[in-house]
């Protein structure tokens, strides 16, 4: 059975899209955003040496009296970067900086706030017996321990870990190569001069960015006229060198809409027309064994199709079993009614609920699938699932990011608890 709902389409894609097998070695500094192709084990421990967690004084535990006081002579100064090639004697302390190696024989650091200096002598006071202020070898990462799993999308924190462990390069899955084209006799490339009846092609620039953000390398095939053989030849030649083709426009059943026919005749159309709005004429199939995602021309519908299905395909191409959009559940600001049988995608924005300051989503007042103003204002799609006619204010709804990854959205200052 061909998928007819968004959920069925997503499940279908999760089965159908195979992860790319090609991997590449990239320098760690360039690896953020790539998907790791190998499990990574720590080749060393972190910290690599016992070091001070504080600016203070390193001493021997045995030099502390019953009152928690140690009176010692300051025999050494160890700055970060010094190698402390000596052993601390009983009765002496080493002034030490955060990150500096703890000398042999020292088993505690007292922070400088608890030190009283008198010439070359120091009186140290232990205020918390449980705090030794020494970062021990391997307490963060143990040598040999698995630290990252294949399939991880690398972020700058992963990069710190890899660099900290001395990695110069890692094996990653190659970025999917995606070719995009727009069809429509009315389309012109900005900033060419427009004549009456023409509009600028806005889908290619928008989808190129969304694709790059999703981790794809994009080839722009330009604007193709509403002509089946031109569309076919553009798709068939790009199919040889790409992992995915994405079209926008010409997706429904008007006399100038050719995509479903072209894909059916020269490949296979595996689903078309989902029960969702906007985005009804979305189709998926293949040409020359290359997957093709057929998106509607209306800018909001194209964005909706990409945010739900396009991203799922990109994720599926880089990681086994990742072909699912990332939804989070948030309360809806107002009640909403829709036909039971279809999925309704509403453009929305994050908002703070007044009485409890919780983050909620609010549908925009303007919901037209051709509205650039709405598209520009929207932050998310709110997904109202099939099977329900009304959703009440406060009900949890699925939310799909439109432009950004969750990391960026959640890191956004306006979402931080105030
Ligand atoms: P279509 O899907 O070809 O029937 O187009 C639906 C609507 O979207 C029409 O108003 C088109 O002019 C418009 N449209 C189609 N492709 C694009 C595009 N690439 N950029 C902006 N608008 C488009
Ligand atoms: Mg058209």
pLDDT in tens, 181-221: 999 999 999 999 999 999 999 999 999 999 998 889 999 99
Q: Are residues 349 and 399 in the same domain?
A: yes
Domain end marker among 266, 296, 322:
322
- Strand order of the β-sheet with 283-287 is 217-224, 177-183, 244-248, 290-295, 283-287, 267-272
What does the alpha-carbon distance between residue 360 and residue 345 come to, in Å, rounded to a whole number?
16
Mean pLDDT along residues 342-354:
94
Same-domain check for residues 77 and 153:
no
Q: What is the pLDDT of residue 319?
A: 79
**Domain CATH code at residue 246:** 3.40.980.10
Higher model confidence: residue 326 or residue 388? 388
Q: Considering Cα of 94, then 100, then 106, then 109, what sign does the dihedral take? A: positive
In this structure, are 218 and 317 located in the same domain?
yes
- Ligand 1 atom with the smallest distance to the CA of 202 is 20
Catalogue the E-assigned strands of 196-266: 199-200, 217-224, 244-248
Mean pLDDT of 49-66: 97
Residue 238 has what pLDDT?
98
Distance from residue 245's CA to the centre of ligand 2 (Å):
18
Q: Atom 15 (ligand 1): residue with closest C-alpha?
A: 297
What is the number of domains present in the chain?
4
Domain boundary among 285, 302, 322: 322
Peptide bond into 272 cis (omega under 30): no
Choosing from 183, 197, 199 the residue with most ligand 1 atoms within 8 A of its CB, the one to mutate for a pocket test is 199
Q: What are phi and psi of 339, to 5 degrees?
A: -60, 140
Task: Say if ligand 1 is within 6 A of residue 184 CB.
Answer: yes
Closest listed ligand to the CA of 296: 1
| Cβ(203) – ligand 1 distance below 6 Å | yes
Same domain? For 348 and 257 the reply is no
User: Ligand 1 in contact with 19 (CB < 6 A)?
Assistant: no
Residue from 249, 248, 180 nearest 211 by CA: 180
Average pLDDT on 291-308 reads 97
CATH number (domain holding residue 411): 2.40.340.10
Q: Are residues 384 and 348 in the same domain?
A: yes
Closest CA relative to residue 403, chosen from 304, 261, 335: 304
Q: Are 112 and 186 found together in one domain?
A: no
CA-to-CA dists, residue 104 to 59, 93, 101, 134, 141, angstroms: 10, 12, 9, 12, 22
What's the token pair of residue 194? 């427009």
Ligand nearest to the CA of 247: 1
Residues 153-177 have pLDDT tens digits of 899 999 999 999 999 999 999 999 9
Q: Is the CB of 315 under 6 A from ligand 1?
A: no
> Is the domain of 306 the same as that of 385?
no
Specify whether 88 is located in the same domain as 154: no
Q: Is the CB of 296 under 6 A from ligand 1?
A: yes
Which range marks the domain in which residue 59 is found? 51-135
Ligand with the closest atom to the CA of 251:
1
Query: What DSSP assignment string belongs to 143-207?
Result: TT-EEE-TTPBP-HHHHHHHHHTT--EEEEEPPPEEEEEEE-TTEE-TTSPP-TT-EE--HHHHH
CATH of the domain at 149: 3.90.105.10
- Residue 305 CB less than 6 A away from ligand 1: no
Report if residue 1 sits inside a domain: no
CA of 238 to the centre of ligand 1 (A): 22
- The pLDDT of residue 415 is 53
Proximal ligand: closest to the CA of 295: 1
What pLDDT shows up at residue 418?
A: 46
Q: Which pLDDT score, from 0 to 100, does residue 402 have?
A: 92
Residues 6+ away with beta carbon under 8 Å from 410: none
- pLDDT tens for each residue of 65-90: 999 999 999 999 999 999 868 999 99
My answer on whether 274 and 244 are in the same domain is yes
- Judge if 119 and 244 occupy the same domain: no
Task: Looking at the structure, tell me whether residues 274 and 342 fall in a common domain.
Answer: no
pLDDT at residue 416, rounded to an integer: 52
Asked whether residue 152 is assigned to any structural domain, the reply reads yes
Q: Is 237 within the bounds of a domain?
A: yes
- Shared domain for 304 and 191, answered yes or no, is yes
């Amino acid at each position: 059975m061909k998928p007819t709902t968004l959920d069925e389409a997503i499940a279908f894609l999760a089965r159908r899209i195979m992860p790319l097998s090609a991997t590449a070695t990239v320098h760690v500094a360039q690896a953020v955003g790539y998907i790791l192709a190998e499990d990574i084990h720590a080749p060393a421990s972190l910290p690599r040496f016992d070091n001070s967690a504080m600016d203070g004084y390193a001493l021997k535990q045995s030099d502390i009296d019953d009152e928690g006081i140690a009176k010692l002579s300051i025999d050494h100064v160890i700055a970060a970067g010094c190698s402390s090639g000596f052993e601390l004697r009983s009765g002496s302390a080493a002034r030490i900086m955060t990150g500096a190696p703890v000398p042999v024989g020292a088993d505690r650091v007292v922070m400088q706030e608890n030190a009283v200096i008198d010439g070359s002598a120091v009186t140290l006071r232990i205020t918390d017996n449980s705090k030794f202020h020494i970062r021990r070898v391997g307490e963060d990462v143990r040598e040999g321990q698995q630290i990252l799993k294949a399939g991880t999308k690398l972020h700058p924190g992963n990069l710190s870990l890899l660099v900290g462990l001395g990695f110069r390069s890692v094996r990653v899955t190659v970025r999917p190569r995606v070719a995009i084209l727009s069809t429509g006799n009315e389309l012109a490339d900005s900033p060419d001069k427009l004549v009456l009846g023409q509009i600028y092609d806005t889908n290619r620039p928008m989808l190129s960015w969304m694709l790059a953000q999703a981790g794809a390398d994009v080839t722009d095939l330009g604007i193709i006229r509403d002509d089946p053989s031109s569309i076919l030849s553009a798709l068939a030649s790009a199919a040889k060198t790409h992992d995915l083709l994405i079209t926008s426009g010409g997706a429904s059943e008007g006399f100038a809409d050719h995509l479903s026919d072209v894909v059916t005749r020269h490949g296979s159309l595996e689903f078309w027309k989902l029960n969702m709005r906007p985005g009804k004429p979305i189709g998926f199939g293949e040409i020359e064994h290359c997957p093709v995602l057929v998106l509607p021309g209306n800018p909001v519908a194209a964005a909706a199709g990409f945010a739900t299905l396009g991203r799922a395909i990109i994720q599926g191409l880089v990681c086994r079993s990742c072909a699912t959009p990332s939804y989070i559940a948030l309360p809806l600001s107002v009640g909403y009614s829709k036909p039971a049988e279809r999925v309704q995608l509403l453009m929305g924005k994050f908002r703070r609920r007044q009485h409890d300051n919780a983050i909620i989503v609010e549908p925009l007042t303007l919901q037209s699938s051709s509205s650039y103003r709405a598209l520009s204002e929207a932050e998310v799609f709110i997904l109202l699932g099939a099977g329900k006619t009304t959703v009440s204010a406060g009900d949890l709804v699925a939310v799909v990011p439109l432009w950004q990854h969750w990391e960026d959205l959640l890191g956004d200052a306006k979402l931080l608890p105030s």
